[in-house]
Structure 1
Amino acid sequence: MLKQLASKSANGFDWIDISDPQHDELHETATRYNLHEELLDDSLQSDHLPKYETMRDYVFMIFRIHTESKAMEADTVQLLTHKIAIFYSKEFIVTIHRKPHALIDTLAALVTEGQCTGSFHLLNNIIKACLLTYDAPSRDLSRGLEYYEEQIFLRTRKVPLLKGMYFLKRKVDLIRRMLILSYDIIDNIDAEQGDVNTRDTRDLYIRLQNIYDALSDNINHLLSLYFNVSAQRTNDTVRILTVFSVFFMPLTFIVGIYGMNFEYMPELQQKWAYPTVLGVMAVIVLLIYLWFRRKGWL
């Protein structure tokens, strides 16, 4: 669906927004503003990564914004992000996206109220609004990280920790990748006509990048701690089982001897043989216990 959200007569520049693009709408817009066909093809690719490309009369960029999906197992570019393609010049802005986005309506309201002084100002606001879609997810991911830390260190109940941490790591790494690939867009916008607004956008970008870098480091450390704690718990279990086996090995040896079916075993005919053997077993257990205590193994 094609909408004209700003016009040269009223705002000094044209803003054409196309959601769920159709062939005739794209062809009409491309003809009107002399847009390259290959760039239009890029704008229709749902999994295209962020890019910045300078043409003779305009600039083409693709920015990916975070979706509102809450699915734990969403870990791909298509599931976690949506694409917005932007054609920009001083005379016009064309935005192309498959799904409607609230940020477009918010920015359209700013244009209507006269709060955008030109196409570059609007472009900066679009990029800033796209960046802000990563702000709330960073807090959700931080809370998820804190939850898994609590489960690892403070809880004993069973939860699918490894699976949850895997998807958490995938989300953080994917968002970091989107931000890294978006650097050229931020850098070129701030370098072309840099002002207070573009520097504010760059500061937002740097803050988000630092947040997701820290999240990535923390989740990697948490995974290492998870495996170390799991190994430690396994070692504790093996140690306990080893202690029990050490206690029972000599007792099993004695029982094995007197369980042999030989006809001549003198001890079997003695009146005090049974309590004597039990006493010997008790003494052996006590000596093993004292030895373990002395070594600090119990």
Structure 2
Amino acid sequence: MALSIRDYSNFQWFDFVNPKKSELRQCFEDHGGNSHLMDDILEVGHLPKIEKIKSSTFLLFRAVSHKISGERSTIAQLTNKIGFFYNESVLITAHQKEFDFLNQIQNKESLNSPEELMLNILEAMLETYIEPAQWLSDKMDSFEAEIFLKDHKKMSIESLYFDKAKARACKKLILLTQSVMNQIQVNPTHLTKLQDLKETASSLFFQFDEALDDAQALLNTYMSLTSQKTNEVMKLLTIFSAFFLPLTFIVGVYGMNFELMPELKWNYGYFVIWGLMVFMSLVIYFWFKRKRFI
């Protein structure tokens, strides 16, 4: 467990990294928190939430903390959370993983309130979604090019599945984050900052929503092309069957071992039967051609 304490002119910032429950409890109790909030912070997969406790506010947000490439596709695999507890005199943050942007924010001197600091951290957390959103958009473009401009059979359907799951997870998180942000009440001097963050979240939501829609459309297109290929194979087999079924019938008839078959004594019977089979093949061919089956 690591604890960083930063003293500002009007407040203190306690930042816990991978905290122990006993130490976190003491800090919370000293500033008006309770054990229920600690349980939310320590729960690994907890989703964004907001809770008001008298004059204090408790928040949970999640930031992207792992590379989005690869097979990571669930919320717990892609992101880690930061818990916020703040009032007029203190901000307490707790998280399991180190975040580089927190170190950068700690170096800022011109922070006048816990609320302002919280908004700065939230802004940095939202920025972690920008690169994944662009990455997913580029991946969807790449998949589209493979389907329509290259050989769609070489496209990895497994990769598309994982990317679709990533887009769905990020979209869900941004939607929950928007819901929490809409419930945050801030000082009038910070309303503009909060509105900017809401607009950023809204933009990210539409990017992930578009990536999710594209993934679903590409999946449907891939399945359609695969089905079309199967239909073409069945069509080809049907055409071959149409040619060979009547020929097989003729060969079957004249392959019977009966002595009293009248055509067996014909001098040119062999050539007549060949002519009949060629004629029937031509009739079938031109009929298919007329019906535009081939």
Judge conservation of contact 2:147–2:155 (CA < 8 Å) in 1: no
1:199 aligns with 2:195: yes
Partner of residue 141, structure 1:
136
Q: Which whole-Å deviations, capped at 9, do the CAs of 1:43-93 have from their partners, x for residues lacking one?
A: 000011110111113111111111223453222221111111111212111
Judge conservation of contact 1:52–1:184 (CA < 8 Å) in 2: no
Structure 1 residue runs of 5 or longer lacking an equivalent are: none
What secondary structure is seen at the aligned counterpart in 2 of 1:182? helix
Question: Whole-Å Cα distance in 2 between the matches of residues 15 and 225 of structure 1?
Answer: 52
Question: Whole-Å Cα distance in 2 between the matches of residues 263 and 190 of structure 1?
Answer: 103
TM-score, normalised with respect to structure 1:
0.91
Cα displacement (A) at 1:156: 2.2
Judge conservation of contact 1:64–1:82 (CA < 8 Å) in 2: yes
Q: Which whole-Å deviations, capped at 9, do the CAs of 1:229-271 have from their partners, x for residues lacking one?
A: 2222222221121111111111111111122222222323322
Partner of residue 63, structure 2:
65
Partner of residue 118, structure 2:
123
Cα displacement (A) at 1:31: 3.1
Partner of residue 103, structure 2:
105
What secondary structure is seen at the aligned counterpart in 2 of 1:220? helix
For the structure 1 residues 200 and 57, does the alpha-carbon distance in structure 2 shift closer, same or farther, using more than 3 Å as the test? Answer: same
Whichever residue aligns with residue 145 of structure 1, its letter is M
Cα displacement (A) at 1:19: 0.6
Whichever residue aligns with residue 210 of structure 1, its letter is F
Whichever residue aligns with residue 72 of structure 1, its letter is G
Partner of residue 256, structure 1:
252
Whichever residue aligns with residue 139 of structure 1, its letter is Q
Cα displacement (A) at 1:5: 4.2
1:176 aligns with 2:174: no
Q: Which whole-Å deviations, capped at 9, do the CAs of 1:145-198 have from their partners, x for residues lacking one?
A: 122222222222633633222222211111111111112332234665443322
Partner of residue 3, structure 1:
3
Whichever residue aligns with residue 140 of structure 1, its letter is W
Judge conservation of contact 1:5–1:108 (CA < 8 Å) in 2: no
Bigger drift between 186-195 and 268-277 goes to: 186-195
For the structure 1 residues 157 and 180, does the alpha-carbon distance in structure 2 shift closer, same or farther, using more than 3 Å as the test? Answer: closer
Q: Which whole-Å deviations, capped at 9, do the CAs of 1:101-128 have from their partners, x for residues lacking one?
A: 1111121122xxx132322111111111
Q: Which residue of the other structure, out of 149, 152, 157, is the alignment partner of 1:154?
A: 149
Judge conservation of contact 2:68–2:132 (CA < 8 Å) in 1: no
Bigger drift between 256-265 and 90-99 goes to: 256-265
Question: Whole-Å Cα distance in 1 between the matches of residues 165 and 287 of structure 2?
Answer: 50
Whichever residue aligns with residue 154 of structure 2, its letter is V
What secondary structure is seen at the aligned counterpart in 1 of 2:154? coil
Q: Which whole-Å deviations, capped at 9, do the CAs of 1:12-38 have from their partners, x for residues lacking one?
A: 211111111123421331232131111
Give 1:1-298 correspondences, 5 Å limit: 1-7=1-7, 10-110=8-108, 114-156=109-151, 158-159=153-154, 161-189=156-184, 193=188, 194-298=190-294
For the structure 1 residues 136 and 190, does the alpha-carbon distance in structure 2 shift closer, same or farther, using more than 3 Å as the test? Answer: farther
Whichever residue aligns with residue 4 of structure 1, its letter is S
Overall identity of the aligned pairs, in %:
32
What secondary structure is seen at the aligned counterpart in 2 of 1:6? strand
Bigger drift between 32-41 and 114-123 goes to: 114-123
CA RMSD of aligned residues (A): 1.9
Judge conservation of contact 2:146–2:155 (CA < 8 Å) in 1: no
TM-score, normalised with respect to structure 2:
0.92
Bigger drift between 238-247 and 145-154 goes to: 145-154
Question: Whole-Å Cα distance in 2 between the matches of residues 27 and 157 of structure 1?
Answer: 56
What secondary structure is seen at the aligned counterpart in 2 of 1:85? strand
Question: Whole-Å Cα distance in 1 between the matches of residues 151 and 287 of structure 2?
Answer: 32
For the structure 1 residues 31 and 120, does the alpha-carbon distance in structure 2 shift closer, same or farther, using more than 3 Å as the test? Answer: same
Structure 2 residue runs of 5 or longer lacking an equivalent are: none
Question: Whole-Å Cα distance in 2 between the matches of residues 191 and 141 of structure 1?
Answer: 33
What secondary structure is seen at the aligned counterpart in 1 of 2:182? helix
Question: Whole-Å Cα distance in 1 between the matches of residues 230 and 148 of structure 2?
Answer: 15
